Amino acid sequence: MTLSNCSMAAPTSSFSHSTISSSQDKHSPLARIAPTSSFSHSTISSSQDNHSPLARTAPTSNFSHSTISPSQDKHCLPAPIAPTSNFSHSTISPSQGIYSPFARLAPTSSFSHSTISSSQDKHSPLARIAPTSNFSHSTISPSQDKHCLPAPIAPTSSFSHSTISSSQDKHSPLARTAHTSNFSHSTISSSQDNHSPLARRAPTSNFSHSTISSSQDKHSPLARTAHTSNFSHSTISSSQDKHSPLARRAPTSSFSHSTISSSQDKHSPLARTAHTSNFSHSTISSSQDKHSALARIAPTSNFSHSTISSSQDKYSPLSPDEFLF
């Protein structure tokens, strides 16, 4: 595939949390994606795509948390995926799919958190599973499927937590599981919450890919978030907020990918942001703002990609004017 094959997608796009290594895209805009598309949390290695837009995804599609190795697809889009499809948290090994689209999924399908390892199924699709199932958290071995799509799965399918060894089933469908089940990849450390449900969340809330350290919140629900809120990919250090809910946020608010160091704000809610506000990718060092709310930003405001050093602003709210670009 060449750059000429890539097509621009529709307007009102959201490019949320892009961490870029040292040589990445020094002279061109990071992403020219069309409105209403969502490209959330893309971590890109040092040699990735220096001179072209990062992704031209189809309108209203969701490409959430894609980690791409250094040799991956330097001159073409990483995923021209179908509209309204959901490709959430895909980690790709260094030799994976350099010249072809990563995945052309059917609309409204869900391929959530696919980690690909070495010798798995180089030339055939990963899985053709029945519609309305959810293929969530598939771990696959490092030389996987270099020249074709990893998973052309049926629309609205659900396959929950399938781990695959290196030589597993190269030419047949992975699994045909019952439809409409959904458990979207929650990785929990050894001492986490032995006796209570993982999460008692309000209806239609989205808690996607939460990695929790060993001492986090052993006896209480992980999160009681307002319905339709979005808490996407929160990595929490070992001493963070052991006995209280992780976040009590207003409905429809978006707190996307907040990495918090070990001493950060142990006893208060992580963020009380106004609803429909956008606090996208805030990386906070260990001594940052221990006793106050992380950010009190006005509704519909945009605080996009603020990296803060270790001694920055210990007692006051952040200032959006200093970090917006």
With helix as H, strand as E and coil as C, how does 242-308 read? CCCCCCCCCCCCEEECCEECCCCCCCCCCCCCCCCCEEEEEEECCCCCCCCCCCCCCCCCEEEEEEC
**The residue type at 258:** S
Report yes or no: 238 and 262 within 8 Å, Cβ to Cβ. Answer: yes
Query: Is residue 268 within 8 Å of residue 291, measured between CB atoms?
Result: yes
277 and 251 Cβ atoms separated by less than 8 Å:
no
- Fill in the amino acid letter for 142: P
pLDDT value for 59: 27
Phi, psi of 180 (to 5 degrees): 70, 5
C-alpha to C-alpha distances, 102 to 221, 222, 286, nearest whole angstrom: 36, 33, 36
pLDDT score for 282 = 37
Cβ atoms of 298 and 321 closer than 8 Å: no
Task: Assess if residue 319 is contained within a domain.
Answer: yes
**Residue 320 φ/ψ, nearest 5 degrees:** -60, -30
Please say whether the beta carbons of 99 and 124 come within 8 A. Answer: no
Structure tokens at 37: 């598309």
End-to-end alpha carbon distance in the chain? 32
- Asked if 62 and 90 count as a contact pair (C-beta separation under 8 A), the reply is no
Which residues span the domain enclosing 307? 186-325
Check residue 122 and give its pLDDT.
32
Report whether 134 contacts 230 (CB < 8 A).
no
Task: Give per-residue burial for 189-208: e unless 16+ CB within 10 Å, then b.
Answer: eeebbeeeebbebeeebebb
Write out the E strands in the chain. 14-20, 38-44, 62-68, 86-91, 110-116, 134-140, 158-163, 187-188, 206-208, 211-212, 230-232, 235-236, 254-256, 259-260, 278-284, 302-307
For residue 231, what pLDDT is reported? 34
Query: Token digits for 92?
Result: 């790709």
Look at residue 261 and tell me if it is in a domain: yes
Supply angle C-alpha 74, 75, 80, rounded to 5.
100
Q: Does the residue 314 lie in any domain?
A: yes
Provide the 8-state DSSP code for 53: -
Cα 54 to its chain centre, rounded Å, is 16
Residue 83 lies in a domain: no
For the chain, 325 residues long, give each residue's pLDDT as a single digit of tens.
Answer: 333 333 333 333 333 333 333 223 333 333 332 222 333 333 333 223 333 333 332 222 333 333 333 233 333 333 332 222 333 333 333 233 332 333 322 222 233 333 333 223 333 333 332 222 223 333 333 233 333 333 332 222 222 333 332 223 333 333 222 222 222 333 332 222 333 333 322 222 333 333 333 233 333 333 333 222 333 333 333 333 333 333 333 222 333 333 333 333 333 333 333 222 333 333 333 233 333 333 332 222 333 333 333 333 333 333 333 333 3
Closest alpha carbon to 174 in 143, 156, 152: 152
Number of domains in the chain: 1
Check if the beta carbon of residue 229 is closer than 8 Å to that of residue 256. no
Q: Is 315 within a domain?
A: yes
Q: How would you classify the pairing of strands 235-236 and 230-232?
A: unpaired
- Asked if residue 82 belongs to a domain, the reply is no
pLDDT computed for residue 154 by the predictor: 26
Residues 6+ apart with CB under 8 A from 62: 38, 40, 84, 85, 86, 87, 88
Residue 88 belongs to a domain: no
| Position 113 in a domain | no
